[in-house]
């Protein structure tokens, strides 16, 4: 009998967490499904915004519009997690966690693929990789340009 997910004996029994789109964020996830990076820009102050919000974190305007972008950027920082950051990620060790700064200036959390741990550098140019899951969710990962 599989364990009741509400009563895991420990976090090893938790399924790998997956994002669940919200009414506000759906355009971002829908675009990833179609292999497109789409982010918000504020029509009031011109700032690019990520993650998706209902109001701009620069001026609090609600005039946010979606724009398709290249998804190109660079590694702002990274780490090689040699001990899992949480038990459901034990199969991904070493985890190549990174913060990417897109050309538009917004940042996002990701993991790097198609690169060896010792090849990663701060400032390295990266391009998007669309990781389509069997559950219908596409995660946005990045690899060296």
Partner 1 sequence: MGLRGDAAVVGIAEYAPERHFAGEAKFTLEQWADLAALALDDAGIPASAVDGIVCANDVRESNMFLPATIAEYCGFAVDFAERVDLGGASAVGMVWRAAVAVELGICDVVVGALTARPVPEPPEPVPVDPRVMYGASSNLWGSPQAEFEIPYGNIAQNAGYAMIAQRYGAQFGYDPRATAKIAVDQRTNALANPAAIFHDQPITVDDVLDSRMIADPLHLLEIVMPCVGGGAFVVAGREHARRARERNAFVAGFGEHLTHKTHTYMPDLTSSPVGPAARQAFAMAGIGPSDVDVAELYDCYTITVLLSIEDSGFCAKGDGMRFVRDHDLTYAGDFPVNTHGGQLGFGQPGVAGGLSQVLEGVRQVRGDAGAHQVPGCDTAYVSGTGGIMSEQSALVLVAA
List residues near partner 1 by CB under 8 A.
Answer: 6-8, 11, 14, 16-22, 25, 51, 76-86, 89, 92, 95, 97-99, 107-111, 117, 121-123, 137, 139
Whole-number Å distance between alpha carbons of 130 and 138: 6
Tokens for 39?
Answer: 């982010």
Phi and psi at residue 90, to the nearest 5° = -60, -30
Q: Is 43 left (phi over 0), alpha (psi -120 to 50) or beta?
A: alpha
Whole-number Å distance between alpha carbons of 78 and 70: 21
In the complex, the smallest distance separating the C-beta of residue 45 from partner 1, rounded to whole angstroms, is 16
In the complex, the smallest distance separating the C-beta of residue 130 from partner 1, rounded to whole angstroms, is 14
In the complex, the smallest distance separating the C-beta of residue 70 from partner 1, rounded to whole angstroms, is 20
Bridge partner residues of 110 (DSSP): 98
In the complex, the smallest distance separating the C-beta of residue 74 from partner 1, rounded to whole angstroms, is 11
């Amino acid at each position: 009998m599989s364990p009741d997910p509400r009563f895991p004996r420990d976090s090893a029994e938790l399924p790998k967490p997956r994002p669940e789109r919200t009414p506000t964020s759906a355009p971002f996830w829908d675009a990833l499904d179609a292999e497109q990076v789409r982010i918000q820009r504020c029509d009031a102050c011109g700032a690019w915004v990520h993650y998706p919000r209902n109001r701009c974190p620069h001026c609090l305007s609600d005039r946010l519009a979606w724009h398709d972008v290249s998804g190109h950027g660079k590694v702002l920082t990274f780490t090689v997690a040699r001990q899992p950051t949480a038990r459901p990620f034990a199969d991904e060790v070493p985890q190549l966690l990174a913060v990417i700064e897109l050309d538009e200036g917004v940042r996002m959390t990701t993991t790097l693929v198609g690169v060896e741990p010792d090849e990663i550098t701060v400032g390295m140019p990266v391009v998007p990789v669309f990781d389509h899951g069997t559950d219908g969710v596409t995660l946005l990962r990045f690899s060296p340009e």
